[in-house]
């Protein structure tokens, strides 16, 4: 399940472990997945991830605490709303205070 050529799966498992009201960066997930530097691959994993998969993809943001979504199927506006509904303060520009909300195992 969490192994066997499924780097993506490993990412999904880690994202699911992010507690509600907390966020993580792509680089952080990549590092926990055992591939520091593969932040881009993490983003791609979530990109291919359907919302109904149950993975809180909206809790994953970039190192600057911003929403980088350029994906039309996953609008940044929706991600922003989801984060706000979890109690996370997000600026109009979609910036999150990492120092306060970044997930720490």
Partner DNA sequence: CGTATGACGAGCC
Partner DNA sequence: AGGCTCGCCATAC
Binders of DNA in range 38-97 (CB under 7 A): 38-44, 46-47, 49, 57-58, 60, 62-64, 66, 68-71, 74, 79, 93, 95
Least CB distance to DNA at residue 87 (A): 19
Burial 64-101 (b: 16+ CB within 10 A, else e): ebbbebeeeebebeebbebbeebebebeeebebebeeb
Rule CB under 7 A: choose which of 13, 22, 27, 102 binds DNA: 27
Measured from the CB atom, is 53 or 87 closer to DNA? Answer: 53
Q: Are strands 24-25 and 60-61 parallel, antiparallel or unpaired?
A: parallel
């Amino acid at each position: 399940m969490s192994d066997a050529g499924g780097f993506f799966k490993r990412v999904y498992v880690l994202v699911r472990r992010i507690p509600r009201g907390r966020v993580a960066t792509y680089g952080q997930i990549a590092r926990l997945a055992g591939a520091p530097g593969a932040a881009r691959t993490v983003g791609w994993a979530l990109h291919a991830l359907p919302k109904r998969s149950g993975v809180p993809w909206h809790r994953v943001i970039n190192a600057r605490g911003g929403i980088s979504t350029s994906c039309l199927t996953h609008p940044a506006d929706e991600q922003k709303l989801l984060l706000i509904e979890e109690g996370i303060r997000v600026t109009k520009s979609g910036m999150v205070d990492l120092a306060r909300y970044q997930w720490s195992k």
